[in-house]
Amino acid sequence: MASKPKKLKAEAAQGVLQSRDEVVAGIATIGRLVRERVRIETRMNDELAGIKAQFEGLAAPLAQDIETLTRGVQAWCEAHRDELTQGGKTKTCALETGEVKWRVTPPSVQIKGADAVLALLAQKGLDRFIRMKIEVNKEALLNEPMIAGTVPGITIKQTEEFIVEPFAAELAEVV
């Protein structure tokens, strides 16, 4: 599926066109250039996908070998852990060709059925485990900009952009 032409924002006046006909021709040229850029980008992505697939194919057997050897190294090290960690005094053992390490990950919380858990925490009076987030309501500020603008630290900002959008049609997708 072809991507839509990108909207171009004008920043500075360079090469100012002198007539309506020149502007119409300029927009047509912008459309042609945008489409050519999209074709180049598509060609690049096609080539990158091919290169990536080629190298992933070369690396896949190596990854499998690494995983198998890692499991073998771990099995031996687990069997000799007491010896390698000096009776549990260390978590790392330096061998001739590298190190083996045992690391405990930081604790994490997993919640299934967040709504039910929240209700149960509230029911049991465990409010310390419930976070109440208070934040500025930007939508409400935008609804009342005159009042919001009187509060120090709040600025309502709005800018005008100039956008050139060449006409483009999309091809129907083949199903």
Q: What is the per-residue pLDDT across 49-105, written as a single tens digit (0 to 9) for each?
A: 999 999 999 999 999 999 999 999 999 999 999 999 999 999 999 999 999 999 999
Residue 163 has pLDDT above 80, yes or no: yes
130: amino acid identity, one letter: I
Give the pLDDT confidence of 104-141 residue by residue, as tens digits: 999 999 999 999 999 999 999 999 999 989 999 999 99
Q: How buried is residue 44: exposed, middle or buried, by Cβ count under 10 Å (0-12/13-18/19+)?
A: exposed
User: Which is it for the CA torsion 84, 86, 90, 94, positive or negative?
Assistant: negative
User: Which residue, chain included where needed, has tokens 């190190």?
Assistant: 99
Boundaries of every domain in the chain:
14-104
Q: What is the pTM of this model?
A: 0.53
Question: Tens of pLDDT along 32-52?
Answer: 999 999 999 999 999 999 999
Cα separation, 130 vs 119, whole angstroms = 10
What is the reported pLDDT for 169?
73
Given pLDDT bands bounded at 50, 70 and 90, which one contains residue 29? very high
Residues 99 and 78: their CA atoms lie apart, in Å, by: 14
Q: In which residue are the tokens 């310390």 written? A: 128
What's the pLDDT score for residue 17? 87
Categorize the per-residue pLDDT at 146 as very low, low, confident or very high, splitting at 50, 70 and 90: very high
pLDDT category at 2 given cuts 50, 70, 90 is low
pLDDT above 70: percentage of residues in the chain: 89
Buried b (16+ CB within 10 A) or exposed e, 141-160: eeeeeeebeeeeeeeeeeee
Give the whole-angstrom CA distance, residue 112 versus residue 118. 11
Token pair of 158, please?
């709005």
Give the integer Cα–Cα distance in Å for 74 and 67: 10
Which letter does DSSP use for residue 166 in this model? -
pLDDT at 6: 60
